[in-house]
Structure 1
Amino acid sequence: MTGNVTGKSPAHVGADARVPVRPAGRLTVWQGTALYVGAVLGTGVIALPALAARAAGPASLLAWLGMVLLSVPLAATFSALGARYPDGGGVSTYVRHAFGGRAAAVVGWCFYFAVPAGCPAAGMFAGAYVANALGGGRLTVALTAPVLLVVVTVANGFGLRVSGRLQLVLAVLLVTLLLAAVAAAVPHARVDNLRPFAPHGWAAVGSAAALLVWSFAGWEAITHLAADFRRPARDLPRAALMAVAVVGVLYLAVAAAGLLVLGPAAGTTDAPLAELLALGTGGTARGPAAVVAVLLTLGVMNSYFAGAAKLGAALGRDGALPSWLARGSSAGEVPRRSLALVSGLAAVALAVTTFAGVGPQPLVLLSTGSFVTVYALGTAAALRLLPRGTLHHRAALLALIAVAALLLMTGRYLLWPLIVTAGALGYVRWRRERDKRQSRRVS
């Protein structure tokens, strides 16, 4: 296991330390914004407005607004770290600087092995919408999900230039479709549908917020691509800021439109976007809803595959994973070996859940606790690495408080990251003992 990238021990890494990486990337601010939007604006927008409305009624709008506001310090924290440490290791690099190699291996493994579980689940969600539009039931779901895996694998295999352009196209189409759904339904909005505003009491707003947390995950994913931006110190924070605005507007617009237009039915439908489109067009909207679901899923999978592939190469470079994965860790390179591993594990996870007939829920639970762990260690590292007294340091403190509350709500779902942690620490120990034995033989 190698030491810190800077060559210093954690105790000597100050707030002004930098990873000595010379960015040679091609990602633009607009492509970065699209990757952020794809990572954060996940499949939650398809179903979670209904779940939140079911939990808190119209008062769920306060939960949506609260989560948008909490996204600001979280996005600011990770973009500030990415701008200061533009390295493919992302959160793993920041944790390495703050707490050392073992903690970096843990957070790296938690993110890396969460993606092969989460992405197939997203593909199955999209497949359900396609099946709803075209028929075919489970067979359509079973065919749609692997096709999406192949598309994002091929796109990332050609490099971030192709992947970034694909994400930009997807983001534009997605934003257009969501705004069209809202605009088409607005003439049917009724303010009376917001009464009573809190039918389940004000405490239900907290329950709705707990549901919505998962809709705002993803602010850490693009930091793994920081070195692939043309000017990370300038472009990454700008992309994050623009993405917060886009995501916040879209989430609030869809949630508000659903409540104002559908009224009490907003909490009973499983496809609120389809309902909004149907009201606006005067017909069925299964086809357009399936298109939105597929675009959302492609955006999420593309962003996470790109980030995870780069992270795996960085972990191989740093000794936290086998060294044969290290190829592609430098800025501008394509980490095809790491990408192949992520894609292969995702295919295995999809095959197992498909043949077992258990659906996407187990995969969602496997990835949920892992991402919360990544957030916790990442924001804790930010408090140590970012200059004290700055706006970014204050944002990191606020983000850490919010993530601590999230950890409490995660509960038993933290079991999987604990297992992953044991695996990471076990591998690091085995690697060090092996290196010591080889050193003795040489000497």
Structure 2
Amino acid sequence: MDRKELRQVLRLPHIIALYLGSVIGSGILLIPGLTAELAGPASLIAWLAMSILVVPMAVTMGLLASRHPSSGGVSHFVRLAFGRHYGNLVGWLFLLSVPIGGPVLAVTGAQYVAVLLGWGSMETYILALLIFILPLVMNGFGLKLAGRVQMIVVALILGILLLAICTSVPHYDAAHFTPFLPHGGLSVFQAAALMFWCFIGWEAVTHLSAEFVDPKRNALRGVIWSAGIVAIIYFAVAFMNVATRSYGQEVGSATSLSAMVQLTLGPAGGWIVAAAALFICFAAHNAYSSAASRIALTLAREGAAPRWMGTLNGKYGTPVGGLGFIAAGGILALCVLGSGVVTLNELIALPNATFIATYVGGCLAGFKLLRDDRIGRLASGVSLVVTVALYPFLGWPAVYPLAVVAVAAFWRKRHTGWLARKKGTDFIAAPEDGEAPKL
């Protein structure tokens, strides 16, 4: 199948569906309740602002995808703009998001089942462990979710969200909007930073841009339509979550969507949402762990990560070294979360911080690579300002990406120095810029 034929496969409706499937995910199951608990009804201000400000971010990723299609995603854009070293740093930021983000997904899905069955912490975390491990095992055998499953996920997510919105309307109560700002103005900015978890994923479709029909036109149209749909659905869910007060310790902020649906449909509605939550969280973890394991392989071949992280399965050719790294880190994160040392709200802030840092790198790359495009330069500039402005409101988790960069820089300095002493060179054989590792 030649390049021309590939570009003709994905038309605008397919592109929109792919973007929606990448962006609307586990965040909508978790974040509306957490942000409402954090900032009260005033969290709606942050939802409205983020829904508008996400448009230039989406446009930036869409334009970069149309010009520089690659499976490397944001790290590839950064590499093109600033060189291999900075591209590797962005790769590390993405890689170290997954061993923490995966457990967040798993626990989110497990909690939607646990709240219906009345499970305690032990049963919940056993199910979370299964949700976390199964996609890694599947990837180890070279199994991937089919493209048709992605379309099913999109339809399922949209259907459940529309169900939640429509069934909660009769339970609207204006009294739930007072007090409007119970925790002060700072809480609104903190809620906006937490919401970033809901708006990641625009980079996930970039590796398919070579298959778009008229990519220079449809990539931009696709992200604009998708951003509009995402903004409307997210704000509607968040608004009805507040209007029905389906959050707080009595209800369970982490399962607020289930509480909204059960207002009208009762336990049956809870089971519908729980089934959807399991499927959504499983599919998202499968996609991100697959991508992260291949980034680990690339980093190892670049000499930017330990060699064992680049280990391939001899029979299936899958990156088992990267999958093992994700498994070890994720099990550790589950243990920490299960011990009660940190809450789910606190833990989600860590991968959220690395994703924000990743997008900062992507926006900087867009500002340079799209300098001849007025819309692209403006979108990149606005996105850069927004992501940088949100960063301080992450609180202490903002240190996590800085620690990742420090460790990656230390490894690079140590590794290149060792190679220089042993082989008389600062580099080892690695793929050229833009070349995908061969599996």
Q: Is TM (by shorter chain) over 0.5? A: yes
2:150 match: 167
Displacement of 1:95 in angstroms is 1.4
8 Å contact from structure 2 (residues 10, 212) kept in 1: yes
Query: Where do 5+ consecutive residues of structure 1 fail to align?
Result: 1-20
Matched residue type, 1:420: V
Does 1:107 find its partner at 2:90? yes
Deviation (angstroms), 1:248: 1.5
Q: Does 1:414 align with 2:398?
A: yes
Maintained 8 Å contact 1:34/1:171: yes
Partner of 1:188: 171
Q: Deviations over 1:225-271 (max 9, x none)?
A: 346756665665454334323322221121222233x15x6566423
User: Which of these residues, 203, 211, 232, is aligned with residue 249 of structure 1?
Assistant: 232
> Which sections of structure 2, spanning at least 5 residues, go unmatched?
426-439
The residue that corresponds to 2:355 in the other structure is 371
The separation in 1 between residues aligned to 2:392 and 2:224, in whole angstroms, is 28
Query: What is residue 53 of structure 1 aligned with on the other side?
Result: 36
1:85 to partner: Cα distance: 1.8
Please tell me whether the aligned partners of residues 98 and 326 of structure 2 are also in contact (alpha carbons under 8 angstroms): no
Q: Find the counterpart in structure 2 of residue 12 from structure 1.
A: none
Report the counterpart of residue 135 of structure 1 in structure 2: 118
Partner residue, 1:303: 287
Change (3 A) 1:203 1:131: closer
The CA distance in 1 between the partners of 2:5 and 2:198, in whole Å, is: 31
1:98 partner letter: A
Tell me what 1:15 maps to.
none
CA distance in 2, matches of 1:153, 1:27: 29
Amino acid at match of 1:216: F
* 1:339-358 equivalence runs, <5 A: 340-341=323-324, 343-350=326-333, 352-353=335-336, 356=339, 358=341
CA distance in 2, matches of 1:77, 1:298: 28
Give me the whole-angstrom Cα distance separating, in 2, the residues matched to 1:318 and 1:141: 39
Amino acid at match of 2:100: A
Which residue identity is paired with 2:354?
A: S
Pick from 362, 365, 368 the counterpart of residue 384 of structure 1.
Answer: 368
Structure 1, 371-380 or 319-328: larger mean CA deviation = 319-328
1:148 and 1:32 map into 2 onto residues whose CA distance is 28
Residue 424 (structure 1) aligned with residue 408 (structure 2): yes
Q: Which amino acid aligns with 2:296?
A: G
Partner of 1:209: 192
Alpha carbons 2:41, 2:180 under 8 Å: kept = yes
Q: Residues of 1 paired with 2:5 and 2:297: CA distance?
A: 16
Query: Does the 8 A contact of 2:140 with 2:320 survive in 1?
Result: no
Letter of the 1:367 counterpart: P
Give the TM-score normalised by the residue count of structure 2.
0.79
CA shift for structure 1 position 50:
3.2
- Equivalent-residue separation in structure 2 for 1:236 and 1:360 (angstroms): 38
Alpha-carbon spacing, 1:198–1:414, altered in 2? closer, same or farther (3 Å): closer
In the TM superposition, residue 438 of structure 1 has moved relative to its aligned partner by: 5.5
Across the aligned residues of Structure 1 and Structure 2, the Cα RMSD in angstroms comes to 3.7
CA distance, structure 2, for counterparts of residue 47 and residue 183 of structure 1: 19
Range that drifts further, 285-294 or 120-129:
285-294
Say which is worse superposed, 336-345 or 138-147, in terms of deviation.
336-345
How has the CA–CA distance of structure 1 residues 179 and 117 changed in structure 2, closer, same or farther, with 3 Å as cutoff? same
Contact 1:313 1:338 in 2 (8 A): yes
Corresponding residue of 1:290: 274
Give a deviation string over 1:60-88, Cα, whole Å, max 9, x none: 33321111111111111122222222222
Change (3 A) 1:165 1:62: same
Q: State the TM-score, normalized to the length of structure 1.
A: 0.78
Kindly tell me: are residues 121 and 205 of structure 1, through their superposed partners in 2, closer, same or farther at Cα, counting changes over 3 Å? closer
